[in-house]
Amino acid sequence: MKALLIYPPIRAYLSDTPWPDPPLGLGYIGAVIENEGFEVEILDALALGTDNVQKEGEFLRVGLSWEDLKKRVSKSSPDIVGITAAYTAYASDSHNCAKIIKEINPDIPVVFGGAHTSILYSQVLSDPNVDIAVLGEGEMTYLELMKTLKANGDIYSIDGTAVNKNSIITKNAPRPFIEELDSIPFPARHLLPMENYFHKPSFLRDYSMRKPRTNMITSRGCPFDCVFCSIHSVWGYKWRWRSAKNVVDEIELLINKYKVREIAFLDDNITLNKKRMIEICDEIIERKLDIKWCTPNGVMVRTLDQEVVGLMNKSGCWKLTLGIESGSPETQKFIGKKIDADQCRKIIEFCNKIGMWTHATFIIGFPYETLDSINQTINFAINSELDLANFYVATPYPATKLHEIYVKEKLLESDSDTSYLSINLPGTDTKYFSKKELKQMQSTAYSKFISSRMKRFLNPMRIEKKLRSFDDLQFVMKMLKTAVETRFAIGKHGSFSPHKNISMDTKHPEKGKIPV
């Protein structure tokens, strides 16, 4: 009995093309079912086709061609196929894969998984080429699918799935989440083309400190309820974690087997439990592991203090990403985070003092947000001592409170409307701004922030604290180059006003109180 797990090739904006990282979801599923004696193959059609990058106007198509994918699937001759559909913007690529599978053999069960699938399973299953949608955590559900298929049982009645049987869509009972994450084997990286993840082409920006770099996840779930967040559809609200020993065992394996020198922890809440975070750091230090690590998904500021941050830095954390999101107290209340701005500043200042790089994520353009609130966010980022920042435009992903608000305010046509997530015309209007205006504000935010940071990077007194190794020097040079290129690209399109607060002709820029 053989399973083929596929990560599709993608079509994305030239400026927003993701480079492949190991698909940990498929890796975990592959490891679990392989451990039970089943044959498994993972076909990462994105990573295996990195030499096949085709420009299509404003877009890039990266990955195996559909012809190559069809040949590989035919050669694999699987009994069941699982396809990742994690992002709504790329869902059409996943459905193209399903179509190809059914052309090869219409009797092969096609199973979809991922966040997009969990949230919009009815939409996914409306495709006659998709038989089963795995909802939420996939390891145990997929294992039961394999066992049931082998026993010639009913694969359409398994907990944790929704199914399309005889053109009727049915949602089965939910599956309990895995409580003991240490019980899951490490991702089956031996089934992945690991070398392909380590080398990025020149047209993509590289934000790593060291190479090779790879990703890990040490916990699942989030007890908080931010208005814009959709992760609960996959991981739920309960925070579950791996032990420090288990985490560092995987780090050591990555160092010894794959020569990894940097790890990006993709947890949503890696620092939520202070005791566990300290134990992880102590374990890395005790084993004398030469590793750099970072937290690109962001950590919650209120989980941090000088003791934890200092130990993180000592164990190899070179960059701390903070999920600040807004500099406006009113917007913070609307989001549901209520972050203390003074604590943010203190943590950032302490990080800079000990030579740690600081990065934060910000979101502008919530449905009721005013021009003043957006300017508060941009000015907070600029006036802070942050080294790096990302500015996103608020997106009402399905199954979020934000999505409910957009539908209620008739900013979206219906619950099932996902056209605004298309890569061809992404985004949506708010009560006071068009999506075009919001994109211009985003460009302005980047331009103003980058301009201010270019001056600081040229200040020897500021950079001196960051330069503790040759790795640090290389990173500074890389960031200077990236800053100049980004500033030039934004300026070339004339969508920023670097020396003033945003001021545009909008519908009602002075109005719009946020309901809190």
| Residue-level pLDDT at 44 | 97
Helix (H) or strand (E) holding 159: none
Q: What is the pLDDT of residue 396?
A: 92
Quickly state the pLDDT bin for 61 (edges 50, 70, 90).
confident
DSSP for 178-198, please give it.
Answer: PS-GGGSPPP-GGGS-HHHHS
Number of H helices, E strands in the chain: 18, 18
**pLDDT band at 426; cut points 50, 70, 90:** low
User: Could you read off the pLDDT of 332-388 as tens digits, one per residue?
Assistant: 999 998 788 899 999 999 999 999 999 999 999 999 999 999 999 999 999 999 999
Please state whether 312 falls in left (phi above 0), alpha (psi between -120 and 50) or beta: alpha
In our burial notation (b when 16+ CB lie closer than 10 A, e otherwise), range 269-307 reads bbbbeeebbbbbbebbeeeebebbbbbebbbbbeebeee
Q: Is the pLDDT of residue 404 over 60?
A: yes
Average pLDDT, the chain: 88
Burial class (CB in 10 A: 0-12, 13-18, 19+), 382: middle
Measured CA distances, 161 to 4, 98, 131, 270, 485 (Å): 18, 17, 10, 28, 46
What does the pLDDT read at residue 285? 98
Higher-pLDDT residue of 456 and 437 is 437
CA pair distance 80, 316, nearest whole angstrom: 41
Q: Does the pLDDT of residue 510 top 60, yes or no?
A: no
* Position 70 pLDDT exceeds 60: yes
486, pLDDT greater than 70: no
The per-residue pLDDT for range 151-169, each reduced to its tens digit, is 999 999 999 999 999 899 9
Tell me what the mean pLDDT of segment 65-92 comes to. Answer: 95
pLDDT at residue number 462: 67
13 has a pLDDT exceeding 90: no
DSSP 408: H
Nearest CA-CA partner of 328 in 295, 297, 368, 296:
368
Both structure tokens of 131:
């038989």
Q: State residue 399's pLDDT score.
A: 87
Residues 6+ apart with CB under 8 A from 77: 2
**pLDDT tens, 439-462?**
999 999 999 998 888 776 666 666
In 3D space, the residue among 95, 88, 49 whose CA is nearest the CA of residue 424 turns out to be 88
* C-beta separation of 54 from 209 below 8 A: no
Q: Does residue 504 carry a pLDDT above 60?
A: no
Length of the chain: 516
Report the range of poorest mean pLDDT among 77-86, 148-157, 302-311, 392-401: 392-401
- pLDDT tens digits, one per residue of 208-260: 889 999 999 999 998 988 999 988 878 888 999 999 999 999 999 999 999 99
pLDDT at 413 (0 to 100): 78
CA distances (Å), origin 131, targets 4, 25, 119: 15, 20, 16
Structure token digits, residue 221: 């779930």
Coil/strand/helix, residue 320: strand
Average confidence (pLDDT) over 199-207: 67
CA distance 221 to 236: 5
Tell me the average pLDDT across 317-326.
95
pLDDT category, 406, cuts 50, 70, 90?
very high
